[in-house]
Each structure stands twice: as structure tokens, then as C-alpha cells.
Amino acid sequence: MGAAPARQETILVLSLTGGGANQLDHAREFQPPDASPPATRHFLSRYYDTVSSDLAQAGFSLRVTRSGNNILQTLETTQASGLSLQKCEWEWPLLNDQPDLSLLPVLTPKPLPPSGLREIFVADLKRIVRTLQPAPSTTIRASFDEGTLGAGAASEPVRDLALEALSGDSGATYRFASHLHARIPFAISLDSLATRGLRLASGNLPASEKPGPIELPATASGAAAFRLLVAECLHHLVINQPAALAGSIEGVHQMRVAIRRLRALLLLYKPVLDPRHVAQFDHNLQRIGRVFGQARDWDVFCAELLPDASRPPASTDIYNGLKSVAADRRHDAHDAFIKECGGHRYTATVLDLAAWAEEGQDKPHRLGRAKLARELQDLAPRWLDRLARRVETRGHNIALANDSELHLLRKSIKKLRYGIEFTDRLFSRKKSRLYQKRCKALQDTLGRINDSSTSVQLAKTLLRSTKIDLRPAISALARHQKKQRQSGVNELAKRWKAYRREARFW
């Protein structure tokens, strides 16, 4: 970028409730001798961008901050990595509150219009900084920001605790946060203040995100790769939480996918991981996944399956009662989803899993067997073979399989596909993509067959919760779904044959 940043930091940001913020001052970890005396400052930061949001689109935020008699202009980039935010800042002292664009050209990707800046939002914050020492070899800087973001008439509170490891092993911050979370409620945040302020100013809801490509070094050890893969899966989970809590159907779906990917990763690595840890994490993830799955299933039922079944020439009136009762059940499922996201066990599982994976990078024995020190490209082929054999076993008599057996086959093909996604950068990309294509086609067909049976089962669970006679609608839905199932069955043999014909590339 042409100039070294004045400051770089990697922080874990925890968003507290009002009650949690009050508890923080009284927490033992924030009192001497485990903590330095608090240093308090007030900041008033005005964030700027062009009318066409040139800075934000290039990944920058620009602010002018007044603190006491000091005025500072800061250009910042923030990138989420795993559960942490990586920040780089360039700073210049100013004589007044107006941003000085002449300082930026060597840093920004293109010249900015000389008079094109406008104020986007204001952050009015009190910051309390302490240095914590939760263990003899661990030092953490804790910065608590409390105040408001304001954009025009819109505002939202800020209660963010940022933890930065100054010394200690790589999992220390996560372990400390997990310990703190046992008494103080908070949520992990991957949104910078700039992101939140821009969203507040625009009125846009948080957006969902699909998982990105996983860049594994070709020579990465099994332990190092496990850390990167866990971090990517946890990032996928947490980055979608704001969208899901805002009511995004896709956000809920992506969080459910993230839970499934985490369980698939544990299954892939199962031969070399500590079985006690695997059992504990898989149990917790399975429980969380059931809650997320209920919300997702009712989203699909109400937003996709019922509208599809009630299209002309079908009678739409027959489904009205079913739609109403299903909407209530969907609302209940989303209430349970929101409660789960705010619960202790969910956040504790995320932090504990992150800490375990981080610690294992430097000390593979904490993860499990000594084999984890070997390169992943030597370990992965045998692991993928194991998953592929499970698919072959469950699909052996596919023409005679019932719905339950096809459901198990679908789960196995999905886990194999995730395993390939985790490791495909270690092999031929062309062959890997083709193999994944065959897996996805088979998975989609099996998914259509599964939806045809589960949708009717979901509808039947509503019979006891209402006095409305839903039987005519359920019968009509069953007839429609029977046709959908038959469509899937008709192409299943072709999809299975294409999958079997594709040679294993690993």
C-alpha cells in the first residue's frame, strides 16, 4: 500500500448486553492483582466516505477522532479471520476536525475527489483499557468501548470488549473468553465499528455469506490444517449470525450448513483426534444443529414447499389453514433459534473449539495422535477413502432402498463432499471439481426425495396443535410430494451411475 501501518492488531470482539457490561467492572479477572488499573478516555469519531462509497468499496474506513485536545485522522482496514478481526491503521495528527485528503493518495487505490467526502456516522465512545494476566504466561489487553453509533436519526448502542493477546499461547484469548462467558453473557462479533456504522446509515440489514475457498499450504501439517479449517468453519458460522437474527432465511441456512461442516470436519479427522474431545464437541454441535435444523426446515416448508404445492392448477384455498398453522410453528422454531444463539452452550462450544484447534497447531499432542504432525496431503487420501467407502456401502442396493436408507446415503455423500472441499487444494483442482459435481448432483436428487417425505411428516406434526381440520391440505400436499419424490427416484439411478463412474482423484 506504499506506507507501513502505524498499528496492527488482532482482536477478539465480544458484544455485551447492558447487564453484561455492568458485570464486567466487578469481574475478578478485571481487578488487581490480575489486572492493571483502568485507563479511561473519551473518543468522538466522525467517519467519512465519498458519495459513491469509494473508501468502503476498497476496504477502508476513514475517521477523524477528537479525544481531549488531540485530533487524529485514521485510515483503517479490517479483515475478519476465523473469530478475530485483523486491523491495520495509519494515523496522522490534525489541527482541526476536517479530514485531510492530501495525506491519503499513497495509501488509497485511486485518487479521491477533493470535495467529495461526507460524514457518514459518528461514534461517541468511552474506552476503558486494562492489561490482564489471567495466567503467569498470559497477558491480554482488554479494551471496553461503551457508547453509541449515530447516523442521522438512527442510533444503536455499543458495548464491545476487545481482547488482544500480548503474550501466551495462541489459544489463550479464546480460553479466557470462554472462562469469562461462564458468568458474563456476550456474543462474538465479526463486524467492525465501520461496518456497523455504514449499515446503520444505509438502513440495510446484515447480509448472509457462503463459505469461501480454503487456502491450505501444500505442506501444511494435519494439525496446522485443522486449525485453519476450524477457523474457517467457525467464521462461516459467526459471520452469518447477524443476518440470521435479523430474519434472513439464507442466514439461518448458512449457520446450519456451518454446523454440518464442523461435524463433517471432526468426522474427517476422527482417526487421529482425541476421541473424548470429538465426542464432546460432536454432541454439542449435534444439539445446536437440531435447533438450527428446525428453524431451517420450517423456513423451507413455509417459503418453498407450500408455495410450490399451491401453484395452479392446485387449489390455493385448501392450503390456507395449513399455511397459517405452519407459520406459527415456524415462528416458534425461530424463537428457539434466537434463544440458542444467545445461550451459554452455543458460544462456549464455539470458543472452546477455537481454543482447542489453536493450541493444537503448535502442540499436536493436545489434539490427538502424533500423526497430526505429518503433512495433510499424506493423511487425507486414507480419510477420504473411508468416507467414500461409507457412501458405497449405503448405496449398494440403491434401487431397493427405502426413504430412511436414502436419507443415510444423502448424509454420507454430503460428508464426503465436505471432506473433499476441505482438502481439494491439495489435489488436482480439475479432477476435484468434477468429482464434487457428481457428488452434488447425487446429493440434490436425494435431497428432493428426502424433502418429499419430511414435508408431509412436518405437516402431520401440526395436527395436534390446532382445531383446524388440516387433513384435506395434508392429503393434497402428500399427493404433490409423491410426484416430486417419483421425479427424484426416476433420475436417481442415473445420478448414482455417474457418481460411481467418476474415479477417485485422491
In 3D space, the residue among 372, 350, 352 whose CA is nearest the CA of residue 363 turns out to be: 372
Amino acid code (one letter) for 189: S
Residue 2 has a pLDDT of 47
In 3D space, the residue among 338, 357, 11, 349 whose CA is nearest the CA of residue 182 turns out to be: 349
Cβ-contact 88, 72 below 8 angstroms? no
Q: 452: buried, middle or exposed (CB in 10 Å: 19+, 13-18, 0-12)?
A: buried
Q: Which three cell numbers stand for residue 179?
A: 472462562
Name the band, by pLDDT with cuts 50, 70 and 90, for residue 109.
Answer: low
Cβ-contact 371, 379 below 8 angstroms? yes
Domains of the chain: 7-204 (2.40.320.10), 236-501 (1.40.20.10)
* Low-confidence winner among 102-106, 230-234, 502-506 (lowest mean pLDDT): 102-106
Residue 1 has a pLDDT of 43
Cβ-contact 257, 236 below 8 angstroms? yes
Q: Which three cell numbers stand for residue 172?
A: 489463550
Tens of pLDDT, residues 271-303: 999 999 999 999 999 999 999 999 999 999 999
| Gyration radius (Cα) of the chain, Å | 26
Q: Does residue 482 register a pLDDT over 80?
A: yes
Residue 436 has a pLDDT of 94
Mean pLDDT of 146-164: 97
Q: Does residue 357 register a pLDDT over 60?
A: yes
Residue 320 has a pLDDT of 92
Mean pLDDT of 187-204: 96
Cβ-contact 86, 105 below 8 angstroms? no
From CA 245, how far away is CA 261, in angstroms rounded?
20
Average pLDDT of the chain? 93
Tens of pLDDT, residues 199-231: 999 999 999 999 988 889 989 999 999 999 999
Q: 3-state SS of 294-307? A: HHHHHHHHHHHHHH
Mean pLDDT of 393-408: 94
Q: 203: buried, middle or exposed (CB in 10 Å: 19+, 13-18, 0-12)?
A: exposed
Residue 117 backbone phi and psi in degrees, to 5: -80, 145
- Cell 426425495 sits at which residue? 449
Q: How far is CA 151 from CA 74, 201, 363, 453, in A?
A: 19, 5, 47, 49
From CA 288, how far away is CA 280, in angstroms rounded?
13
Q: Does residue 3 register a pLDDT over 60?
A: no
